[in-house]
Structure 1
Amino acid sequence: MIPHFGEYIAFKLNPVASLESLKDAEVAKACEALETKTYVACVTYLLCLPVPGVEYIQVAMTLLSSGLSPGQPDRFILSDMAVAVLPNTSNPLSRAPLNPTVPLPWPDCFHPTQATTRCRIRNDFTIGNPWPNPKYQLETEDGLLEDYCWEDAERKQALREEHQPLTGDDGAADHLDEREASVVTLPLPSEHDGESHHSRPASIVDDALPTASDWFSKMSKFFHGLVTKASRCVPCIHTRLDDDDVKDFSDDPIWGISLFGTLPPDTMPVIDVLEDLESVKQINDPWDFFRELDALKRIQAEYHEQMKAKLRADIDRARQKDKELHTRLESKMPQREPSSEDTILSVVKEDTT
C-alpha cells in the first residue's frame, strides 16, 4: 500500500525483508526472532515516486505518541519537543494542534518532532489502479509539522552545544540529526537489486495489453496525477523553499534527491503498512521503534564482523597453503653439487674472517 504525502499510517517493522539482501540464513533466523510492535506515523515525504517496476520506495515519517513522550534526555530531546494532533488540543510551547482532514481516532496524540526516520515500503502500485485520497491526512499542515521539526532540531543542537562545546571533527559528527541516527547502516545498492528493480510487475507481464492509445492515455493520466500530487511535497520541486533554503538543506540526505529518487539502500528498514488505521487500539511508544532498529543494526553489525573474521581466516588459510606449497616445491628441486669455485670462495671468506 503506497501512502500519500501527509497520510497517517499504521505500520510494523519487517526485520526479515530489511536484511534480506544479505542472503544469510543465520541473519534471517535472528530477524525472525525479533519482536515488533505496531506504530502510527505521518508520512512527510515520498523520497522517490512509485514508478512501476521499482520494488521499494523510500519514505520519511514522523511518528505519533499517545500523550507526551518522555523524550530522550541523553540525546537532548525533551518531552515538550512535540505538537498535538486533533482531537487533542494540548499546546506544548503554545503550539496550535495540527488539524488533519478528519480528527484522529485517538484522544491524546502528539508528534514528538524528533521521532523521524526513513524506511522502505514495497511498491505495489499498478498503472490504472485507483490511488484514493486517505481519510486521515495533513492535507495543508504538513509544512507546519516540518517547521516544528526544524525548530526543535535547532533547540536540540543548542542544548548539545551548551553541555558539550563543539570542536573540530567532533562537532561535525555531533551535528547529525535524529533522522541519520535512526537509520540502519546504508551501503550502496547491489547490482542484483538494481536489476530486480527494473523488472516489470507481474500484473502487466502476463496479461493481454490494451490498445496502444488506451495504454498511453492511462500512462498520461497516471503521471499527470502523480506529478500534481508530488509538486507540493517532493523536496526537489518544493515551492516553499527559496534559493537560500536549498543551499542550507543541500547536505541533508532527505533533500538531496532527484524527482524520481535514487534506489533505496538495500538494508534500509522495510515496514509493512496496515490497511486499516482504525484497527489500531493502542499507540505504542515511538521510541520503541528506534530500539527495534537498534536491534536490527546489531544483527547487521554481527553479520559484518563474522564476514570480516571469515575473510581473515580465509586469507590466513590461503597464506598457509601457499607456504606449504612453496616448501614442497623447494624440497623436490634437485640439490646442486658445490663447484670448485664455490669451495675456493668459501675458503677465502673463512680466511678473511
Structure 2
Amino acid sequence: MHSVPRRGAWAVMAIDPLESLEHLDDRHVPAICAGLLNKQYVVYVTERKGKLFNPLIPYHEHTVEFLMQGLPDTVPYVCVDSTMSIPVFPATKHPLGRAPLRPSMPLPWPNSYLWPFITANVRCETLVDGGRVPYQLDIPEQLRHDAFVEEDTRRREEGLAFRAALPRTPSIYPSATSTETRSVCTSVAGSDDSDAECSSDTECSSSASVMGSVEALEHHHAMDVTIFRNAMQARMPPADMTTVIFTQDLSVVDRLNSPLEFFAEQDTLKIIADDSRARREFAGRQTEWLDAENCDARTVRLLKRTRVLRVLSGIRERGTDALRRIFLPRSRDGTMS
C-alpha cells in the first residue's frame, strides 16, 4: 500500500516517471516513460519538509538516505571513508565499533549500512494513511542516527579544510570542487568569528539579559506562533522535483539496489525533460518561421493585387480618354468642349 512515510521510518521507494515529468505537459512523454525500467530502493526517511503533515497540499517533500549492502568504499578525494557509515541491525560489524541502529523490527537484509552522504530530496503524493509502520526508529535511535551523521559530517569537513590548506601539488585524485572547499572554509572562519565575538562571559551574558521578563515572554510567544504557522503552512515542493512512490512493505524487495542506479534514473528523466524543452522550442521557432512565410506570401499576393488594380485603373483611364476624344465635339482651337 502506498503511503507518506514519517520521519524515522524505513520504506521502499521507486521513481514515478509520469508524475515527475507531468509539468512538461508533453504528449510524447507517456510513451517514452512506458519504456523505462524503474527499480525499488530501501531508504530511511530523515526529514519531511514542513514538519507537520498537511493533508491540504498535493505533494510532500522528503529527504531520504539509502540503505546499502556492505560497508561503503573509501573515496579519498572527497574525504570520505568506510568508517563514515552506520550499521543497521542485524548488521553488527563496524570499523569504529559503532553499535547498530535497532529498528522496531530487524531489517530483512544482513550486512546493511546507511551512508549519510548518499541522500536524495524527493516528493510524493499526499495520501492520508494511518496504518502501522512496521519498520521505524524510536526517538532515542533517531537521535543516535543524527549524532553519527553530525560526527561524520564534522570529520569530512575537517578533512576538506585540511586539504584546502595544503599547497597545490599534482595528485592522482580529482580535486574537490572549489564551491565545496569555499563553503567549508567559510564555515570554519564563521565559527572562529563567533568564538571571538563571545570571548567574554560578561559580553555574552549581557546580550541575553537586555530584555525584561515580560518582553522575553512576549518574544518567545511570538516565536512559538511563527514556528507553528511555518510548520502548518502549505509548502509545495517544486514541480520539477523527482516524484516517487513509497511503500512501507519491505517484503516487496528481495535485494538492496545501489543508489547509483537511482541517480542514473534521475539523469534519464533530465535527458527526457531537456529533449522535451528542445522540441517545444523548435516547434515555437517553426511556428514563427511559418508565420513569417505566410506573412511574406500574403504580402506578395497583396502587392500583385495592387499592381493589377493599378493596371486596370490605367486602362480605364485611357479608355475614358479615348471615348471622350471620339464622341465629344471639338472647339475651333482643338480642345474638347
Fold shared, TM-score > 0.5 on shorter chain: yes
Q: Match for 2:18: what amino acid?
A: V
**Aligned CA distance change for structure 1 residues 118 and 156 (closer, same or farther; 3 Å):** farther
Deviations 1:271-295 (A, max 9, x none): 1222412342211112211111111
Q: Match for 1:297: what amino acid?
A: K
- Aligned partners of 2:303, 2:78: CA distance in 1, in Å? 63
Work out whether 1:114 is the aligned partner of 2:121.
no
**Aligned CA distance change for structure 1 residues 45 and 260 (closer, same or farther; 3 Å):** farther
Work out whether 1:281 is the aligned partner of 2:254.
yes
- Aligned partners of 2:302, 2:61: CA distance in 1, in Å? 57
Counterpart residue number, 2:65: 62
**Aligned CA distance change for structure 1 residues 288 and 314 (closer, same or farther; 3 Å):** same
Counterpart residue number, 1:37: 39
Counterpart residue number, 2:178: 171
Work out whether 1:317 is the aligned partner of 2:290.
yes
Structure 2 residue ranges without an equivalent (≥5): 167-172, 185-225, 314-337
Q: Match for 1:139: what amino acid?
A: I
Tell me by how many angstroms 1:40 deviates: 0.6
- Number of equivalent positions: 255
Is this contact kept in 1: 2:10–2:248, CA < 8 A? no
**Aligned CA distance change for structure 1 residues 120 and 282 (closer, same or farther; 3 Å):** same
Is this contact kept in 2: 1:101–1:139, CA < 8 A? no
TM-score for both structures, normalised by structure 1: 0.61
Counterpart residue number, 1:130: 130
Counterpart residue number, 1:327: 300
Deviations 1:130-150 (A, max 9, x none): 354543325332422542563
Counterpart residue number, 2:139: 139
Tell me by how many angstroms 1:328 deviates: 2.9
Work out whether 1:304 is the aligned partner of 2:277.
yes
Is this contact kept in 1: 2:161–2:181, CA < 8 A? no
Tell me by how many angstroms 1:97 deviates: 3.1
Structure 1 residue ranges without an equivalent (≥5): 178-235, 239-256, 338-353
Is this contact kept in 2: 1:4–1:134, CA < 8 A? no
Tell me by how many angstroms 1:7 deviates: 0.5
Say which SS state the counterpart of residue 295 (structure 1) adopts.
helix
Is this contact kept in 2: 1:87–1:107, CA < 8 A? yes
Q: Match for 1:144: what amino acid?
A: A
Is this contact kept in 1: 2:91–2:111, CA < 8 A? yes
Is this contact kept in 2: 1:157–1:175, CA < 8 A? no
**Aligned CA distance change for structure 1 residues 333 and 174 (closer, same or farther; 3 Å):** farther
TM-score for both structures, normalised by structure 2: 0.63
Tell me by how many angstroms 1:265 deviates: 1.8
- Structure (1 or 2) with the larger CA radius of gyration: 2
**Aligned CA distance change for structure 1 residues 10 and 90 (closer, same or farther; 3 Å):** same
Say which SS state the counterpart of residue 33 (structure 1) adopts.
coil
**Aligned CA distance change for structure 1 residues 6 and 171 (closer, same or farther; 3 Å):** same
Say which SS state the counterpart of residue 93 (structure 2) adopts.
coil
Is this contact kept in 1: 2:4–2:124, CA < 8 A? yes
Deviations 1:5-25 (A, max 9, x none): 110111221212221232323
- Aligned partners of 1:264, 1:176: CA distance in 2, in Å? 25
List, as ranges, runs of 4+ consecutive aligned residues in structure 1 with deviation greater than 6 Å. Answer: 71-76, 162-166, 173-177
Say which SS state the counterpart of residue 101 (structure 2) adopts.
coil
1:9 to 8, 11, 15: 11
Counterpart residue number, 2:30: 28
Say which SS state the counterpart of residue 58 (structure 1) adopts.
strand
Aligned CA-pair RMSD: 3.6
Counterpart residue number, 1:225: none
- Residues 156-165 or 44-53, more deviating: 156-165
Say which SS state the counterpart of residue 14 (structure 2) adopts.
strand
**Aligned CA distance change for structure 1 residues 149 and 124 (closer, same or farther; 3 Å):** farther
Q: Match for 1:41: what amino acid?
A: V
- Aligned partners of 1:59, 1:82: CA distance in 2, in Å? 21
Counterpart residue number, 1:241: none
